[in-house]
């Protein structure tokens, strides 16, 4: 299978950036294995393939990482075009600037940077359903203000019908994609100076 | 019936960034040790990680955990040239400081201090945050880590130039990028699935 980070950065075999990535062969292979485990799992268990791609599309889109978002959105649109359209609208409303959030009360409170939580409006909730609506609200927290996370946020996911194991996988999807789009942006910047 | 979150046992919450050893308490039910199969041990990579609540939670998705762990190990432990381990850990610490992951910062500040022998500087990064002056080489690494952590991303060719100006070669710059990017993965899991605690006295 094509290495997705290579694809997204535009790395061709034999180029300097290809050689640099080859020096960390396991990181390269296992980033790809992470992508495969999350988006093409042998057994999707509690999270349907379209749901996995929907969550990733939303996470990347609210980061403002347009090119990477197109990759996930394109895969999702192949499965559920209406859902991809609904995410475009939701992501535009959910975009922001991070990281922000509060610290445990004490000396770090001076650094508190409170900011908004996001939840699906009526139109989005109707278009994506309560399960994905709850997932997207949590994804917004993970992208912009993960230090505000509390057990109640996980309970909201469980109440929306996700299992404990599903929540682990949803969290991995958001966190992996947060890594992947940063690796892509970083390597692209490096490529301009090689 | 839907699953329920856990209520962690009574504990003291760390209220500052620290190099001290911390505990981590899960908000979701980890797998029990006796439930772990060969597939789960493959996911854990190191069998000893079965003793950690955090890894026994993540191993609910063993394939994702295994790939995550092997990505992590190559980015931080691969000894083939590139950025010295101390500075890969510095980038991890800076990202954790900015995102606010007190637990992650504690672990990687310890590594950074150990490998760099610059404990006082690491301590200042923890105490004062990513704007602290640590000398131009470390400042350039911290600034790159910060730019890769902000959303939308603020990292650009100017960060590459600054890293090169302090002596980093292409592989070392790629290591900074990967270390910082990886901690944007690690922090989000650690911050959102449980909480840090001071070890019971």
Q: Look over chain B and give the mean of its residue pLDDT values, rounded to a whole number.
A: 97
Over residues A65-74, mean pLDDT:
95
CA distance A155 to chain B (A): 6
Confidence of residue B1 (pLDDT cuts 50, 70, 90): low
What is the interface pTM, i.e. ipTM, of the complex?
0.98
Write down the pLDDT at residue B146.
98
Write down the pLDDT at residue B200.
84
Q: Which of A151, A163, A189 sits opposite B3 (nearest CB)?
A: A163
SS3 state of residue B151? strand
A147 interaction partners in chain B (CB closer than 8 Å): 99-101, 191
Over residues A170-178, mean pLDDT:
98
Q: pLDDT tens-digit profile of B147-193? A: 999 999 999 999 999 999 999 999 999 999 999 999 999 999 999 99
- Candidates B64, B99, B159, B172, partner chain A, best to mutate (most A CBs within 10 A): B64
Share of chain B above pLDDT 90, in %: 98
**Interface contact A117, partner B, CB < 8 A:** no
Q: Look over chain A and give the mean of its residue pLDDT values, rounded to a whole number.
A: 97
- Given a cut of 90, whether residue A112 has pLDDT beyond it is yes
- Given a cut of 90, whether residue A144 has pLDDT beyond it is yes
Specify the number of domains making up chain B: 1
CB–CB contact A97 B151 (8 Å)? yes
Over residues B130-155, mean pLDDT:
98
Write down the pLDDT at residue A12.
96
CA distance A121 to chain B (A): 23
Residue B39 lies in a domain: no
Over residues B79-94, mean pLDDT:
98
Q: Are A168 and B60 in contact (CB under 8 A)?
A: yes
Give the CA-trace dihedral at B12, B18, B22, B27, to 10 degrees: 70
CA distance B53 to B29: 9
**SS3 labels along B47-84:** HHHHHCHHHHHHCCCHHHHHHHHHHHHHHHHCCCCCCC
Number of Cβ atoms within 10 Å of the Cβ of B92: 28
- Candidates B12, B15, B28, B144, partner chain A, best to mutate (most A CBs within 10 A): B28
Over residues B53-66, mean pLDDT:
98
Instruction: Locate the DSSP E strands across A68-177.
Output: none
Q: pLDDT tens-digit profile of A118-130? A: 999 999 999 999 9
Q: Are A18 and A12 in contact (CB under 8 A)?
A: yes
**Interface contact A103, partner B, CB < 8 A:** yes
Q: Which helix (H) or strand (E) holds B194?
A: strand B194-197
- Given a cut of 90, whether residue B201 has pLDDT beyond it is no
Over residues A98-103, mean pLDDT:
98
Residue B93 lies in a domain: yes
Residue B65 lies in a domain: no
Write down the pLDDT at residue B117.
98
SS3 state of residue B25? strand
* Owner of token pair 């020096």: A23
Q: Which residue segments constitute the domains of chain A, with CATH numbers given?
A: 45-180 (1.20.1290)
A103 interaction partners in chain B (CB closer than 8 Å): 15, 100
Domain of residue B135, residue span = 83-191
Write down the pLDDT at residue B2.
85
Q: Which of A26, A146, A185 sits opposite B187 (nearest CB)?
A: A146
Residue B116 lies in a domain: yes
Which own/partner contact pairs does B133-139 have at CB distance under 8 Å and 24+ positions apart? B136/B166, B137/B166, B137/B167, B138/B87, B138/B90
Q: pLDDT tens-digit profile of A21-56? A: 999 999 999 999 999 999 999 999 999 999 999 999
Residue B6 lies in a domain: no
The CATH code of the domain that includes B100 is: 1.20.1290.10
CA-wise closest residue to B172 among B95, B72, B91: B91
Q: Which is more confidently placed, A66 or B120?
A: B120
**Interface contact A66, partner B, CB < 8 A:** no
Q: Are B188 and B151 in contact (CB under 8 A)?
A: no
């Amino acid at each position: 299978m094509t290495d997705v980070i290579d694809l997204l950065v535009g790395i061709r075999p034999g180029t300097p950036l290809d050689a640099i990535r080859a020096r960390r062969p396991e990181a390269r292979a296992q980033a790809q294995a992470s992508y495969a485990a999350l988006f093409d799992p042998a057994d999707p268990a509690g999270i349907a393939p379209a749901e996995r791609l929907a969550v990733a599309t939303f996470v990347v889109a609210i980061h403002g990482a347009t090119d990477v978002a197109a990759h996930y959105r394109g895969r999702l649109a192949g499965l559920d075009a209406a859902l991809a359209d609904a995410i475009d609208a939701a992501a535009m409303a959910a975009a922001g600037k991070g990281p922000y959030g509060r610290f445990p009360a004490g000396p770090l409170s001076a650094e508190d940077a409170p900011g908004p939580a996001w939840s699906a409006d009526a139109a989005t909730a109707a278009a994506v359903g309560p399960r994905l609506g709850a997932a997207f609200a949590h994804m917004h927290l993970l992208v912009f203000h993960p230090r505000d996370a509390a057990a109640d946020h996980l309970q909201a996911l469980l109440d929306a019908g996700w299992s404990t194991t599903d929540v682990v996988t949803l969290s991995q999807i958001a966190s992996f994609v947060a890594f992947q789009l940063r690796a892509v942006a970083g390597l692209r910047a490096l490529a301009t100076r090689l | 019936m839907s699953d329920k979150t856990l209520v962690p046992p009574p504990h003291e919450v760390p209220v500052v960034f620290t190099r001290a050893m911390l505990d981590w308490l899960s908000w979701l039910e980890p797998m029990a040790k006796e439930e772990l199969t060969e597939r789960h041990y493959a996911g854990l990579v190191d069998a000893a990680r079965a003793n950690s609540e955090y890894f026994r939670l993540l191993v609910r998705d063993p394939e994702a955990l295994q790939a995550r762990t092997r990505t992590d190990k190559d980015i931080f432990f691969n000894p083939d040239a590139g950025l010295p381990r101390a500075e890969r850990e510095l980038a991890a610490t800076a990202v954790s400081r900015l995102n606010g992951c007190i637990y992650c910062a504690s672990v990687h500040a310890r590594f950074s201090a150990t490998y760099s022998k610059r404990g006082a500087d690491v301590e200042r990064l923890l105490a004062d945050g990513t704007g602290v002056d640590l000398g131009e080489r470390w400042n350039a690494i911290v600034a790159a880590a910060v730019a890769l952590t902000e959303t939308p991303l603020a990292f650009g060719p100017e960060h590459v130039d600054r890293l090169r100006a302090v002596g980093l070669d292409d592989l070392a710059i790629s290591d900074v990028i990967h270390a910082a990017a990886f901690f944007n993965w690690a922090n989000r899991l650690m911050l959102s699935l449980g909480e840090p605690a001071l070890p019971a006295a």
